[in-house]
């Protein structure tokens, strides 16, 4: 994960001052005092400005995603074997992005973008591409349920 420079004096209080400086709404002290989200915005902003903390949390997210991905990959291979006389999938049937010989990783260690070609003004995969089976969505949905988030629209 690339590093970025954490600003000197990084703290929620410092970030609250930055928000007040750049967001005219928060220049009014009475509005600032009544806003129930400003302190949360400041905490989030300070967190996102700290490279070490971000990398630590992203590493945890990556571990959780790899576990979801591994379980789904196994499930898909088992399903393929059941439908195909216990034969292993062909080489391109399921490309495991963690172990692929011609690595899908970019120089920075992250996954490189999928190769695409334009067809009828729409980008489509140029070849077989890596499947992630919604591992990020699965992890985030699990966390939303655990922490009591509710995505019901009210507008």
**Tell me: the pLDDT tens digits for 5-30?**
677 788 999 888 888 888 888 888 89
Q: What are phi and psi of 128, to 5 degrees?
A: -55, 140
As given in the structure block, the two tokens for residue 18 are 């930055």
pLDDT in tens, 104-146: 566 666 666 666 777 777 766 666 556 677 889 999 999 988 8
Band (4; pLDDT cuts 50, 70, 90): low
E strand intervals along the chain: 116-119, 122-125
Q: What is the mean pLDDT of residues 87-112?
A: 62
Q: In this model, does residue 1 exceed pLDDT 50?
A: no
| pTM (whole model) above 0.75 | no
- The whole-chain average pLDDT of the chain stands at 79
């Amino acid at each position: 994960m690339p590093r970025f420079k954490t600003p000197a004096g990084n703290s929620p209080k410092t970030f609250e001052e930055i928000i007040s400086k750049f967001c005219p709404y928060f220049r009014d002290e009475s509005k600032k005092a009544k806003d129930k989200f400003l302190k949360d915005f400041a905490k989030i902003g300070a967190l996102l400005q700290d490279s070490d903390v971000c990398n630590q949390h992203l590493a945890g997210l990556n571990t959780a995603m790899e576990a979801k991905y591994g379980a789904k990959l196994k499930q898909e291979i088992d399903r393929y074997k059941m439908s195909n006389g216990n034969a292993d999938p062909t080489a391109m049937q399921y490309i495991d992005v963690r172990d692929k010989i011609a690595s899908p990783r970019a120089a920075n260690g992250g996954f490189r973008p999928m190769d695409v070609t334009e067809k009828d003004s729409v980008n489509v995969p140029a070849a077989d591409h890596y499947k992630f089976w919604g591992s990020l969505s699965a992890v985030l949905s699990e966390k939303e349920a655990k922490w009591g988030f509710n995505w019901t629209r009210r507008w």
